[in-house]
Amino acid sequence: MKKILLSAIAVVALGTAAKAQDMKFGVKAGVNISTYGGDIKDRDSRAGAHVGVLAEFKLTENFAIQPEVVFSMQGADRKFTEGTTVTEDEQRLNYLNIPIAAKYYITEGLSVQAGPQIGFLLSAKQEGTETSPGASVDYSNDNKDAYESVDFSVFGGLGYDLPMGVFFQARYAAGLSNILKDANVGDSSDFKVQNNVFSVSVGYKF
């Protein structure tokens, strides 16, 4: 499945490049505010970072396709109580994301953008503290096996390009797939959790 998707992305990129009137390459970096969607309770957002490379293929004066490869720090924080025990938990998920943005320039420099994204899980780490009367226990473990290796999402946002090549970008990506490998949680056989990420970037195209 991964090979098919990557092949499809390569075909789209090559086909777009062949038709492009103008082509630029670039780099970008920025901040993520990520959390979970779906059935999980007591979730909270966590801050992370992202950094990546991109290519913009201008097909017409107003329309462009922009594939990217981005390292993205995601996950969520949780705080919940069971009996007399309070747990504060941080789940760190690192992905290699490949978004493909369709961009429409409303005016010179200002664009709306949207598209699909496929993400490949690189690592997953859980850290937290369990506090009960008279005791506090810290824990940390690698739990990559609990998560699916591939994540699908869609995104939308805005971008603004300055004449000298610097650009700014804001996007929201909503997860489509269940990121948990084992959906049997408690009494539920259909427990779903998705990645939701708001990101702000600054970059440079040349």
Which whole number is the average pLDDT over 153-160?
98
14-29 pLDDT per residue, tens: 556 556 678 999 999 9
Quote the CA–CA distance of 170 and 112 in Å, as a whole number. 10
Please indicate whether residue 107 or residue 187 has the higher confidence score (pLDDT): 107
Output the pTM of the full model. Answer: 0.87
What mean pLDDT comes out for the span 30-37? Answer: 97
Query: Does residue 67 surpass a pLDDT of 60?
Result: yes
pLDDT tens, position by position, 77-130: 988 888 888 889 999 999 999 999 999 999 999 999 999 999 999 999 999 999
CATH no. for 26-205: 2.40.160.20
